[in-house]
Amino acid sequence: MKKVKSLLTVLLLTTTVTSQLILTQMAQAADYTNSIGMEFVKISAGCFNMGRDPNFEDGSDDELPRHRVCITKPFYIGKTEVTQAQWVAVMGSNPSNFKGRNNPVETVSWNDVQTFIRRLNQKEGGNKYRLPTEAEWEYAARAGSSSTYHFGDDKGMVGQYGWYLDNSSERTHPVAQKRPNQWGLYDMHGNVWEWVQDWYDENYYRNSPMNDPKGPSSGRARVHRGGSWYVAAGNLRSACRSRLIFSPGSRYDDLGFRLVRQP
């Protein structure tokens, strides 16, 4: 009887490992790499709770109420923040303060990013690239989690997943040096804040539609998410909306972006 149980245990473990390998291979097969080496991860459609949990998280009121959001179509999102080498390949020059080919490009405004996107679309022949919406960004950052960070609620673990005030030496670092989230995305917590498509409105969550919210129709500032090398761990939360209001022309050396590619 013990031998039968042992054989069943081995069979179960083998099946589990095989299933995990198959899922990993499927995820790798879904990735896309463009002409300048930008890697994208395919994100399936789905629903999640957007915003902070007021019972467990401290944060600002513009992260409330927590509300149900559904992303109704799959999309590809950058595995990493756009690097300086990728920016130079499209734009021809490097505006970044902290130079490094594989460091995230920074000191770029939302308007600068729109120019980059237009040129990249022209280069690739189509109209596939854009910034993620704020809802798409948080959906991808959470990677199926509902916790404070994509890895859980323990602030002490932040340094394993992102560069922030306590471990950054006050500068950016090459992308993909920390652990990724469960969907294979790097630096969703820290390194540089990331521009998203939406206009900012502190009360938008109270009026946001459930399906594919795109933010207010107008405003004076654009949203940026994810935290940076310059801020404390609390600003790296999945739900965090920066308290700093940045106009589309703002440029800072802890502010960059990652792109979405439409299928």
The domain containing residue 122 runs over which residues? 29-261
Cis ω before 65 (30° cut-off from 0): yes
Say yes or no to pLDDT of 8 above 70: no
Q: pLDDT (tens digit, 9 = 90+) per residue, 176-224? A: 999 999 999 999 999 999 999 999 999 999 999 999 999 999 999 999 9
Q: pLDDT (tens digit, 9 = 90+) per residue, 82-92? A: 999 999 999 99
Q: pLDDT (tens digit, 9 = 90+) per residue, 120-132? A: 999 999 999 999 9
Whole-number Å distance between alpha carbons of 64 and 67: 8
Q: How far apart are the first and last CA of the chain?
A: 53
Q: pLDDT (tens digit, 9 = 90+) per residue, 18-46? A: 333 333 333 344 489 999 999 999 999 99
Whether the CB-CB separation of 157 and 151 falls below 8 Å is answered with yes
What is the residue-wise DSSP string for 154-198? -GGGGGGT---TTTS-SS---TT-S---TTS---SSSSSEEEEEE
Number of structural domains in the chain: 1
Model confidence band, residue 10 (pLDDT cutoffs 50, 70, 90): very low
Tell me whether residue 15 is in a domain.
no
Tell me whether residue 11 is in a domain.
no
Tell me whether residue 149 is in a domain.
yes
pLDDT for 27 equals 39
Torsion of Cα atoms, 40 then 148 then 71 then 127, to 10°: -30
Instruction: Enter the tokens of residue 139.
Output: 């959906």
- Which CATH number do you get for residue 99? 3.90.1580.10
Tell me whether residue 86 is in a domain.
yes
Tell me whether residue 14 is in a domain.
no
pLDDT for 244 equals 83
Whether the CB-CB separation of 240 and 59 falls below 8 Å is answered with yes
pLDDT for 6 equals 42
